[in-house]
Homo-oligomer: A and B are copies of this chain.
Amino acid sequence: MQTVSVNLGARTYPIHIGESLLTDSAQLSALLVPLIQGRQVAVFTNDTVARLYGQTVYDALKDYAVDVFTMADGEAFKNLDTYRAAMDFLMEKRHNRTTCLIALGGGVVGDLTGFVAATFQRGVDFVQLPTTLLAQVDSSVGGKTAVNHPLGKNMIGSFHQPKAVVIDPLVLKSLPAREYAAGLAEVVKYGVIADHNFLVRLEAQTQALNRRDSTLLGEVIKRSCEIKAEIVAKDEVETGVRALLNFGHTFGHALENLSGYGVWLHGEAVSVGMIMAARFSEELKLLENGQAERLQKCLDAVNLPTALDSPLSVDEMLGSMGMDKKAADGQLRFVVTSGFGQAEVIDSFSDQSLKRVLTEFFQG
C-alpha cells in the first residue's frame, strides 16, 4: 500500500492506494475504523458497485450500525432530488453529527455523498472509496462536492474534504471500457498541465494502460493524485492555481451541457475539450503547432473520443461557455497550455480566435 497526503492543515488527509483494498475486509477495516467517531455509519452506493464490493465494506464495518443508501446510477441522478432523498434517509435513520458517510462508487456517488456530508447537520465526516478511474484520480481528491442543476453541472455544492480516500486499482478490471477510458482523460490532463515526463510515459505505455496493467495503474493513479494534491494544497477553494485543473473543462462542460447529461461521459467530453484547448493554445501562439495533434494521438490510442459525431453550433457553444461557472462576471477565462507540462489561465484574447478554433474543429 502506498499513501499520498493531501496537505490542508487541519483538514489534511491520506489517499491510500493498494491492490485488494476493496476485497480484503480486514485491510479495509484497519483503515476505516480509526476514522469513525460514533456508532452509526451510512454507506452510499449504487446497485452495481454494491454487488461487487458492498460485502467487503459491510464486513469491514461489522462493529457499527450500518445503513445503506442505494442511489440510481448515472450523472442524471446527481441532483437535488437524490440529495433530498439522502437527507430524508439520514434523518429517518436518526444519524447525528458523529456519523460517518462512506461513498462507495464513482464520481456521481462521491460528489453527492460529499455534498450530503458537507451539509447534513452542518457537516459530518465522510470517506471516499472510489471505484472508477475518474473518481480515483480526480473527483475523490480535493474536496469538491456537488449536485447538478438542470441549467448547469455542479452548480450546487461546496468544498468539504474527506477524512480519507481508499483506492484499489484492481477494481478497474471490472470497469466498462468507456468509463475506464474516460478516467484516462484526466490522467493525460495531469501530464499536459503539470508533468511532461509523465505524459511521455503515458504515451509510451498506452498498450499497458489499455490492458489495465495493475502495477502500472497503481503508479499512474499515485502520480495523478500527487499532482492534484499538490495543486489543491496550494489553493483549496479555487481562487487561483486550482483553475489549471480545468484544462479542457470549459469546452468539455459546454459539450456536456449542449448534449444533455448522460450523452457524454465527463472524461470523454474532457478529452475532446482538451484537444480544443490545445488547438486554442496553438491559435494563440502559446503552443507549438503539431502538439494538439500529438495530444489527439495519445487520447486516440487510449480509446477516447477526439472529435464530434456531428458538428455543434458555434454560437450555442459560446453561449453555453458564458454560462459556465469559470466565467468571472462576464469575462470568459480559459486554461491553456504553453508547452506540455505547464498551463496557465488567460482572460484576454480575441473572440475571433476562439470562434475560429471552434469553427475549424466542428468542420473536422
List chain A positions with a Cβ less than 8 A from chain B: 37-40, 80, 84, 87-88, 91-92, 94, 96-98, 115, 118-123, 144-146, 149-152, 154-159, 237-238, 323, 325, 327-330
The answer on a CB contact under 8 Å between A91 and B328 is: no
Quick one: which of B122, B151, B158 contacts A123, CB cutoff 8 A? B158
A160 CB → nearest B CB, Å: 8
The complex is assembled from copies of this chain, and their number is 2
The answer on a CB contact under 8 Å between B329 and A122 is: no
Q: Taking A149-B87, A325-B96, A328-B98 as contacts, is the C-beta distance between A156 and B123 under 8 angstroms?
A: no
Quick one: which of B84, B325, B330 contacts A80, CB cutoff 8 A? B84
Quick one: which of B39, B122, B156 contacts A157, CB cutoff 8 A? B122
For the complex, what is the distance from the CA of A97 to the CA of B97, rounded to whole Å?
29
A84 CB → nearest B CB, Å: 6
The answer on a CB contact under 8 Å between B329 and A151 is: no
Q: Taking A91-B151, A151-B92 as contacts, is the C-beta distance between A157 and B119 under 8 angstroms?
A: yes
The answer on a CB contact under 8 Å between A149 and B40 is: no
For the complex, what is the distance from the CA of A84 to the CA of B144, rounded to whole Å?
20
Q: Which residues of B contact A150 (CB under 8 A)?
A: 91
For the complex, what is the distance from the CA of A37 to the CA of B328, rounded to whole Å?
10
For the complex, what is the distance from the CA of A38 to the CA of B328, rounded to whole Å?
8
14 inter-chain pairs at a CB distance below 8 angstroms, sorted by A residue, are: A38-B329, A38-B330, A87-B155, A87-B156, A91-B152, A98-B329, A115-B119, A119-B157, A121-B155, A122-B154, A122-B158, A122-B237, A122-B238, A158-B158
The answer on a CB contact under 8 Å between B237 and A120 is: no
Q: Which residue of B lies closest to A83 (CB)?
A: B80
| Beyond A91-B155, A96-B330, 11 additional pairs, beta carbon < 8 A | A38-B328, A38-B330, A80-B84, A94-B323, A96-B329, A97-B325, A97-B328, A115-B119, A119-B157, A121-B155, A123-B159
Listed residue (A123, A144, A149, A327) with the most chain B CB atoms within 10 angstroms of its CB:
A149
The answer on a CB contact under 8 Å between B325 and A155 is: no
For the complex, what is the distance from the CA of A98 to the CA of B157, rounded to whole Å?
16
For the complex, what is the distance from the CA of A124 to the CA of B153, rounded to whole Å?
17
The answer on a CB contact under 8 Å between B329 and A40 is: yes
A2 CB → nearest B CB, Å: 30
The answer on a CB contact under 8 Å between A120 and B156 is: yes
Quick one: which of B40, B88, B119 contacts A119, CB cutoff 8 A? B119
Q: Which residue of B lies closest to A40 (CB)?
A: B329
For the complex, what is the distance from the CA of A134 to the CA of B123, rounded to whole Å?
24
Q: Which residue of B lies closest to A330 (CB)?
A: B39
Q: Which residue of B lies closest to A159 (CB)?
A: B122
Listed residue (A37, A121, A157, A325) with the most chain B CB atoms within 10 angstroms of its CB:
A121
Q: Which residues of B contact A146 (CB under 8 A)?
A: 122
A152 CB → nearest B CB, Å: 6
The answer on a CB contact under 8 Å between A119 and B325 is: no
The answer on a CB contact under 8 Å between B158 and A325 is: no
A44 CB → nearest B CB, Å: 16
A302 CB → nearest B CB, Å: 30
A333 CB → nearest B CB, Å: 11
The answer on a CB contact under 8 Å between A237 and B158 is: no
